Chains A and B, each alone.
Chain A
Amino acid sequence: MASARDTNARQEGCKDPWSKLLERVGQQRDREAYRSLYEHFGPQIKYYALSNGMAHHAEELVQEVMISVWRRACLYDWRKAAASTWIFTIARNQRIDMLRKMQRSSAEMAVETEDLWQIPGDNENEPVTALHRILAERRVRESLRSLPEEQVTVLAKVYMESKSHQMVADELQIPLGTVKSRVRLALNKLKVILRDQAV
Chain B
Amino acid sequence: MIQHHPDESLLLEYSAGNLDTAQALCLRLHLDVCSRCRCQVDMLDSVGAMLLQEEKSSALSNDLFDRILTRIETLPEDEPKPKVTTDPLRKLVGDLNALPWKRQLVNVSVYDLSEQFPDQPGQVVLQKISAGGKAPVHTHRGTETTVVVQGGFTDNRGVFEAGDFVVLGQQDVHKPIALHGEDCVTLSILSAPVRLTGPLGRLLNPFIR
Chain A residues within CB distance 8 Å of chain B: 31, 35, 38, 42-48, 50-51, 58-59, 62-63, 66-67, 70-72, 74-75, 81-82, 84-85, 87-89, 91-93, 95-96, 100, 103, 105, 108-112, 115-118, 120-125, 133, 136-137, 140-141, 144, 152, 155-156, 158-160, 162-165, 180, 183-184, 187, 190-194, 199
Query: How many Å from the CB of B22 to the closest CB on chain A?
Result: 9
Q: A89-B45, A125-B84, A144-B50 are in contact. Are A58 and B9 (CB under 8 A)?
A: no
**Contact A116/B83 with A38-B68, A88-B49, A192-B43 known, Cβ cut-off 8 Å:** no
Q: Is the interface of A mostly helix, strand, loop or mixed?
A: helix
Are B72 and A67 interface neighbours, CB within 8 A?
Answer: yes
With A115-B88, A164-B18 already in contact, 12 other A-B pairs whose C-beta atoms are closer than 8 Å: A51-B55, A59-B60, A89-B45, A112-B88, A116-B24, A117-B14, A122-B82, A141-B46, A155-B12, A158-B13, A192-B8, A193-B8
Known: A62-B60, A111-B21, A190-B43. A82 touches B28 (CB 8 A): no
Interchain nearest-CB distance for B155 vs A (Å):
21
A-B contact number at CB 8 A = 202
User: How long is the Cα–Cα vector from A176 to B82 in the complex, in angstroms?
Assistant: 40
Is B156 an interface residue when CB atoms closer than 8 A count as contact? Answer: no
- Collect the chain A residues with CB atoms within 8 Å of residue B81's CB: 75
Q: Which of B1-59 contact A (CB under 8 A)?
A: 8-9, 12-18, 21, 24-25, 27-28, 35-36, 39-40, 42-59
Q: How far is the CA of A123 from the CA of B87 in the complex (A)?
A: 12
Please tell me which one of the listed residues A81, A82, A93, A122 contacts residue B83 in the complex, with CB atoms under 8 A apart.
Answer: A122
